[in-house]
A and B are shown apart, each in its own frame.
Chain A
Amino acid sequence: MIAFIKKYQISIASILLVIFSLHLSLTADKRETGRRSLIKDVIHTAAAPVERLALGTYNTAVGAVSGYVLLVNVNKENSALKDALTALMEENNRMREKALEAGRLKEILDFKEAIPFRTTAAAVVALSADMWGASAVIDKGASHGIRKDMAVISRSGAAGRVIEAGMNSSTVLLSTDLRSAIDVISQRGRIKGIAEGNGSGGMILKYVRQFDDVQVGDLAVTSGLTGIFPKGLPVGEVVKIEKGRDNFFRLIELKPAVDMKRLEEVLVVTDPGFIPGG
C-alpha cells in the first residue's frame, strides 16, 4: 500500500488537490461573507507594492510618450497654423491693396468728375525697363476709344501721351522720356517754354531766356496751345536754374509733378476737342 502510494504519490497528490480545488470553486458562493479571507489579505498586501510600481512606471511612460506625441502633434498643428497665418496675411495684404486701390480709384473718379473734359480711366499694367526710356502700358486700347497722341493725365498732372494704341492696351510715352516734349507755361511769371524729358526720371525746361522771370519753386503747367494737353495741368516744379552755355537760354531742371514710379491709375483724355486731327 505504502509502496503504491510512494510510486504514484505525485498523481495521487495532484488528484486530491484537483478535487479540493474543485470543491473550493464550487462552494465559493456559499462561503461569501463580504469579508476577504486572511490568506487573500496577505496575498493582496504582498502584491500591492508591485501593482503600485507597475502602475506608476506605466503612467510615467505613457505620460512621456503622450508628451512626445502631443509635441509632435503640436509641431504639426504649429506648422498648419503658420501656413494658415501666412495665407491669412497674404489675403490681408490683398484686401489692403484692394482698399488702397479703391481709394485711388475714388480719388481719380472725383478728379475725373471735376475736370471739364471727357476722359477714360485706365490702369498702368507695365512700366518700361529701358535705361533711358520712360514708357508705360495701360489696359485700355482702340476698342475703348483710345487713339494715338491722346493725353494721359493723373491727379498730380500731365503724365504723358499715347504713342501706340493696340486693340486692348496702349503704350504711353511718359513726360520724362527723352522723346517727350510738352508745351508749358510758368504759372507765376507766365513764361512759355518746352518741358522735355531728360531720360533719367527728370525734365528740362527749354527755351527760357536769361532775363525771363523764372525762379526755383515755380510750377510749370500745360499751356494748352498744342491741343494735346488741356490747359493748366501741372507738369513740373523748377528745382534748379543755371546759365546756359550759349549765354542766351537758361538751363532749368524740373521735378516732374507726376511720380512715374508710383503711377497706377491714369485718365486718358478722350475729349474730341483735344484729339489731334479731330
Chain B
Amino acid sequence: MKDFLIFIPATIVYIAVKSTIFASFPVPDLPLIMIFYLGYTRPSLEGALLCFVVGYIEDALAGGVTGSTSFALIFIFLCAYFLSRKVQFTSALIKGLAAFFLTLLKGALVYAVLSPFSIGLSFRGFALLQALFTGLAAPYAIHLLSRLKFLTGPRAFAG
C-alpha cells in the first residue's frame, strides 16, 4: 500500500504539470516508467491494482476514454513482469530501450482502443517522440525510484 502513497501523487503531479506547462510537448511517460519498474522489480497484486488506478487517474485528468490507459498500463505491467524472467534489466541501455518500446506499445494499445471511437489521432509522430523521450528519461527515473526505498521500507524497490 505504500506504493500507492508514492505512485498516485506522482501521477497526479505528472498529469497536472503535463496538462499545463507541457501541454503539447511529448514529455517522458512517467507513469509508464513507474509501472515498468514495478513490473520487473516487485510484481504483485498491489502492483496490478496500482496500474489500473494510475491508468484510471490518467484517463480522468487527461480527458481520455476511461479504461483505455488502464488497459495499456496493465498490459505493460504484465509484459515487464514476463520479460523480467528472461531479461536482466540492469544496464541503463536495456532500461532505456525497454521503456522506449513499451511506450510505443502503450501508444499502439491506446490507439487500438480509441480507433473504434473515430477519434482523430496523430499516432506516429507524437508517439515516436514520446517513446524517445521516455526511453532517454527511464534510466534516470528508475534510479530515482530506487533511491526512494526509505519511504516504502527496506523490502520495497529492491532493484
- Chain A residues in the interface with B (C-beta under 8 A): 9-11, 13-15, 17-18, 20-26, 28-29, 39-40, 43-44, 46-47, 50-51, 53-55, 58
B66-A24 in contact (CB<8A):
yes
Contact A11/B78 with A25-B71, A39-B60, A47-B12 known, Cβ cut-off 8 Å: yes
Distance A20 CA – B70 CA, assembled complex (angstroms): 9
- Residues of A contacting B116 in the complex (Cβ-Cβ under 8 angstroms): 26
8 A-B pairs besides A17-B52, A22-B113, A28-B66 with CB distance below 8 A are A10-B81, A22-B67, A24-B70, A28-B65, A28-B67, A39-B56, A50-B13, A54-B17
Tell me, yes or no, whether B152 is within 8 Å of chain A by CB: no
| Stretch of B42-50, B123-131, B133-141 that contacts chain A | B42-50
Contact A13/B48 with A40-B60, A43-B57, A58-B21 known, Cβ cut-off 8 Å: yes
- Residues of A contacting B103 in the complex (Cβ-Cβ under 8 angstroms): none
Chain A residue with Cβ nearest B13: A50
Distance A39 CA – B67 CA, assembled complex (angstroms): 13
Residue from B16, B47, B75, B113 with most neighbouring chain A CB atoms (10 Å):
B16
- Residues of B contacting A39 in the complex (Cβ-Cβ under 8 angstroms): 56, 60
Q: How far is the CB of A242 from chain B (nearest CB, A)?
A: 94
A46-B65 in contact (CB<8A):
no
Tally of A-B residue pairs with Cβ under 8 A?
A: 92
Cβ-neighbour of B75 out of A10, A18, A24 (below 8 A): A18
Chain B residue with Cβ nearest A25: B67
A55-B21 in contact (CB<8A):
yes
Q: How far is the CB of B121 from chain A (nearest CB, A)?
A: 14
Task: Fill in one digit per residue for B3-29: 1 if any A CB lies within 8 Å of its CB, else 0.
Answer: 000000000110111011100000000
- Residues of B contacting A55 in the complex (Cβ-Cβ under 8 angstroms): 20-21
Distance A25 CA – B67 CA, assembled complex (angstroms): 5
Distance A9 CA – B47 CA, assembled complex (angstroms): 12
Which bucket holds chain B's interface residue count?
35 or more
Chain B residue with Cβ nearest A58: B21
A50-B12 in contact (CB<8A):
yes
Distance A55 CA – B22 CA, assembled complex (angstroms): 10
A47-B61 in contact (CB<8A):
yes
Distance A218 CA – B66 CA, assembled complex (angstroms): 113
Chain A residue with Cβ nearest B52: A17
Contact A51/B16 with A10-B45, A25-B113 known, Cβ cut-off 8 Å: yes
Chain A residue with Cβ nearest B43: A10
B21-A54 in contact (CB<8A):
yes
Tell me, yes or no, whether B132 is within 8 Å of chain A by CB: no
A44-B113 in contact (CB<8A):
no
Chain B residue with Cβ nearest A10: B43
A17-B16 in contact (CB<8A):
no
Tell me, yes or no, whether B142 is within 8 Å of chain A by CB: no
- Residues of B contacting A54 in the complex (Cβ-Cβ under 8 angstroms): 16-17, 20-21
A21-B52 in contact (CB<8A):
yes
B13-A21 in contact (CB<8A):
no
- Residues of B contacting A15 in the complex (Cβ-Cβ under 8 angstroms): 78
B74-A17 in contact (CB<8A):
yes
Cβ-neighbour of B70 out of A17, A44, A53 (below 8 A): A17
B68-A25 in contact (CB<8A):
yes
Q: How far is the CB of A19 from chain B (nearest CB, A)?
A: 9
Distance A21 CA – B106 CA, assembled complex (angstroms): 14
Distance A11 CA – B43 CA, assembled complex (angstroms): 10
Q: How far is the CB of A10 from chain B (nearest CB, A)?
A: 5
